Amino acid sequence: MAGRNARIGLVLFIVYAACYAAFVFTSAFAPDLMDAKPFAGLNLAILSGFGLIVLALVLALVYGGVAMIYDFSPLALGVFLAFVAVTLGLSFYLGRGAKSSAGYFAAHGQIPWFVNGVAFAGDYLSAASFLGICGMIAFYGYDGFLYSIGYLAGWIVALFVVAEPMRRLGRYTFADALNSSFQSRGIRIVAGVSTLAVSVFYLIPQMVGAGALVQPLLGLPHWQGVVLVGAIVILIVVTAGMVSTTWVQFLKGALLVIFSAVLSIIVLSRGLTTGGSVNNAVALRTLGPLPTAIADGTTIPGLPDETVLEPAAGWVGTPFIVTRDEATSRLSVWKPRTDADGATYLDEAQIVTTTPEGKTLVAGLPKGRGEGEAELLPVGSIARLPGGVAETGPLGPLEFFRTIGDSDIKLWRNQTIAEADGGKSVVYYPQVTPGSKVLRPGEHPTFAGIRNGRWLDKLDFLSLMLALFGGTASLPHILIRYYTVKDEAAARKSTIVGIGCIGFFYVLTLYLGLGAMTSGALDPVDTNMAAPLLARSVGETLFAVISAIAFTTVLGTVSGLILASAGAVTHDLVDSFRSEPLDDRTKVTVAKFASVAVGLIAVALGILFKGMNVSYLVGWAFSVAASANLPALVMLLFWPRVTKQGIIAAVAVGMVSSLTWILLSADTFSKVYGLPAADAPMPFSQPGLVTIPLGFATLVVVSLLTQRKKESV
């Protein structure tokens, strides 16, 4: 039966992989085809993206059948504290039975398959999915949905290739499966180190996202939010282990999917509107039509109290016009725009300045809400709806996309400008964009290369999509969840349930992201808060519930990652350097100390990487996982000539090469080191296209060279 299931799974995997490859290569090399509207007035990008998600669900069923604009919110605080209290209470209650290794790491293999499937969703739909994807869609459109497609596609690999063999081969950790036929200390060590590397990389975006969520809930700075999250998660893992982690993930996964569906229905029911914010916030201004030339030292029609300033230092040569209110000294920044009829308009932008002394100014005034202070205004609106109407009323699921595609949307971009005194200013400005461009790939800087003809940019895109496809089935905290069910059939069923929940949620991300884009509630500084702020534009209660659920879902994911890391340290690394394995009680104790250490590392990295989009950071983790773990796991299952030396070499080479590539990439140079991106030695930022094949090639070559070697490693 196992062999039959493997053959059927391989066939279905090839079918889906071919469809996924067609989508990726069409996006990379024929992006204009994605603009075509072959059915129901929807472009091919929307249809093919939804089609891949639906196909994943269908194939899974087939396989199963045969085989920072924040006010303190007391309500939000109350709901948040209630969720945390329930989570901790559940952890303490269920943790009483997690005294042995089998209980602490694998819940004795007694988790029901349906609960485990929903827990997959709670584990997987974390900061990257809810915060990062929705935020990327809200600021750039369809490009964020590419992550949804890639993330779900990876579950096809998990279902058809990995799920049943993992349950059959292992006990507690990823290394158990790799080492099932060899009993090699070398495999345990290298797999344990790989688990730590992948888990730490995956922890970074979770902590960044959790810190962003705590800001509007508790009014704390980002770093304090990260510390708070770290403390709660460490407490959960130390007191409970896999049993409570699973049930926490089950509850939060179910609630996140349900309330995201509710929020999507609200987005459709209230429709779209032009102009200012739907929640009556102060709207940014648009002036015009105006004279084509505006001289320095003069005033702009409609702004009699504001004087146009002469550009200086880094402002020279920029498209912006700066005015100063003579009464309040408040600065306003304007971005000229010419419409199709040749008329000139000025769209109001926003400016945040960091002085040489480290002080933050908004519009030239101290940041704050008191007299003589200023703060950023919420953004996100539609410049023009089809037919020139002011609002649409309720929209259907497909009509929503057609209306967006025929509208003009104000997307928000930013530009950094050096000031004469050594400070720097960041201008956040609107860019009126046809909706047809919003609903096609290629607007985000990460994906812009698919439309500029540069081969290196196209390779970067292919590399990311390959990593997303292969990364899910290589993530240690996902793999260890297969040990929590009783047998291979339960592993298969739980994966199908997980695909159903996750796929449904990823369809919702497009509605949530586009709804946030047009809600008038976006924080121009923080892309990660788009979905919670969309909920706030509906009402404080929904904001409180959505934020609390998202926060506790992050807790579940971080708990799973720390648990996987603790298992690697205790079961794979510590035992490998001892002549006798640790006894059960000591192993659990060591795992708890390891959890504290990994949690502290995650806190430090979450503070360091503040401000980066969490989905982008997760792309790095997927690249490392797919490069280090996927070649060894797949070849172990499907190539009988694999050797322990080949596995060790493949994991080590894949891990080191992917980490080295990421650390020397242009994105890391510019966003982490603060160095010019042009100085980076790597030709593109995503390593998967090079390092994943390198891992496979290394395993094959080393295995062929060591066929007759029998000595222990």
- What pLDDT score was predicted for residue 71? 55
Q: How far apart are CA 517 and CA 531, in angstroms?
A: 10
pLDDT band at 279 (very low <50, low <70, confident <90, very high): very low
Residue 289, preceding peptide bond in cis (omega within 30° of 0): yes
**pLDDT at 234 > cutoff 90:** no
521: three-class secondary structure by DSSP: coil
244: three-class secondary structure by DSSP: helix
pLDDT band at 354 (very low <50, low <70, confident <90, very high): very high
- What pLDDT score was predicted for residue 232? 79
Using alpha carbons, list the distances in angstroms from residue 572 to 98, 174, 193, 582, 591: 19, 9, 9, 11, 11
- What pLDDT score was predicted for residue 77? 64
Q: Which residues contact 180 (CB under 8 A, 6 or more apart)?
A: 169, 170
pLDDT band at 243 (very low <50, low <70, confident <90, very high): confident
Q: Which residues contact 612 (CB under 8 A, 6 or more apart)?
A: 205, 208, 671
Exposure on the CB side of residue 585, measured as CA atoms within 13 A: 0
Alpha helices in 472-583 (DSSP H): 476-479, 488-517, 530-538, 540-567
**pLDDT at 265 > cutoff 70:** yes
**pLDDT at 70 > cutoff 60:** no
Sign of the C-alpha dihedral computed for residues 106, 111, 116 and 119 taken in this order: negative
**pLDDT at 72 > cutoff 70:** no
* Mean confidence (pLDDT) of the chain: 82
Using alpha carbons, list the distances in angstroms from residue 85 to 88, 91, 137, 185, 246: 5, 10, 32, 42, 17
Segment of 91-100, 205-214, 307-316 carrying the highest mean pLDDT: 307-316
- What pLDDT score was predicted for residue 147? 87
- pLDDT, one tens digit per residue, over 534-576 is 888 888 888 888 877 777 777 777 877 887 888 888 878 887 7
Give me the percent of the chain exceeding a pLDDT of 90. 20
* Ordered DSSP codes for 267-318: HHHH--BBSS-TT-PPPPPEEEEE-S---TTSEETTEEEEEEPPP-GGGTTS
- 3 state SS for 121-173: HHHHCCHHHHHHHHHHHHHHCCHHHHHHHHHHHHHHHHHHHHHHHHHHHCCCC
In CATH terms, the fold of domain 2-271+448-613 is Sodium/glucose cotransporter (1.20.1730)
* Ordered DSSP codes for 612-631: S-HHHHHHHHHHHHHHHTHH
Mean pLDDT, residues 669-678 taken together? 80
- pLDDT, one tens digit per residue, over 686-704 is 899 999 999 999 999 999 9
- What pLDDT score was predicted for residue 532? 85
Yes or no: say if 291 and 277 are a contact pair by the CB < 8 Å rule. Answer: no
Residue with tokens 């939060």: 252
- What pLDDT score was predicted for residue 89? 72
Q: How far apart are CA 244 and CA 249, in angstroms?
A: 8
DSSP code for 367: B
- pLDDT, one tens digit per residue, over 13-53 is 888 889 999 999 898 888 888 888 887 788 888 888 888 88
Paired tokens of 400: 């929503």
**pLDDT at 496 > cutoff 50:** yes
From 205-209, 377-381, 515-519, the region with the lowest mean pLDDT:
205-209
Segment of 66-75, 345-354, 451-460, 598-607 carrying the highest mean pLDDT: 345-354
**pLDDT at 199 > cutoff 50:** yes
Q: How far apart are CA 387 and CA 414, in angstroms?
A: 30
End-to-end CA distance of the chain: 34
Q: What are phi and psi of 561, to 5 degrees?
A: -65, -45
Q: What are phi and psi of 339, to 5 degrees?
A: -85, -175
- What pLDDT score was predicted for residue 82? 77
- What pLDDT score was predicted for residue 697? 96
- pLDDT, one tens digit per residue, over 394-438 is 999 999 999 999 999 999 999 999 988 889 999 999 998 999 999
- What pLDDT score was predicted for residue 293? 60
Q: How far apart are CA 229 and CA 222, in angstroms?
A: 11
**pLDDT at 162 > cutoff 70:** yes
Yes or no: say if 202 and 561 are a contact pair by the CB < 8 Å rule. Answer: yes
Q: H-helix or E-strand containing 487?
A: none
362: three-class secondary structure by DSSP: strand
Neighbours of 415 (CB within 10 A): 15
Higher local confidence (pLDDT), 473 or 655: 655
- What pLDDT score was predicted for residue 674? 77
Q: Domain residues of the chain, as ranges?
A: 2-271+448-613, 286-436
Q: How far apart are CA 665 and CA 673, in angstroms?
A: 11
Q: What are phi and psi of 664, to 5 degrees?
A: -110, 15
Higher local confidence (pLDDT), 439 or 372: 439
- What pLDDT score was predicted for residue 571? 75
Report if pTM > 0.95: no
Q: How far apart are CA 352 and CA 110, in angstroms?
A: 54
- What pLDDT score was predicted for residue 127? 65
- What pLDDT score was predicted for residue 310? 86
CA angle 406, 279, 534 (to 5 degrees): 70
Using alpha carbons, list the distances in angstroms from residue 327 to 308, 330, 372, 577, 635: 14, 8, 11, 72, 72
Give residue 402's identity as a one-letter amino acid code. R
Q: How far apart are CA 701 and CA 688, in angstroms?
A: 19
- What pLDDT score was predicted for residue 427? 94
**pLDDT at 105 > cutoff 60:** no
Residue with tokens 């490069």: 627
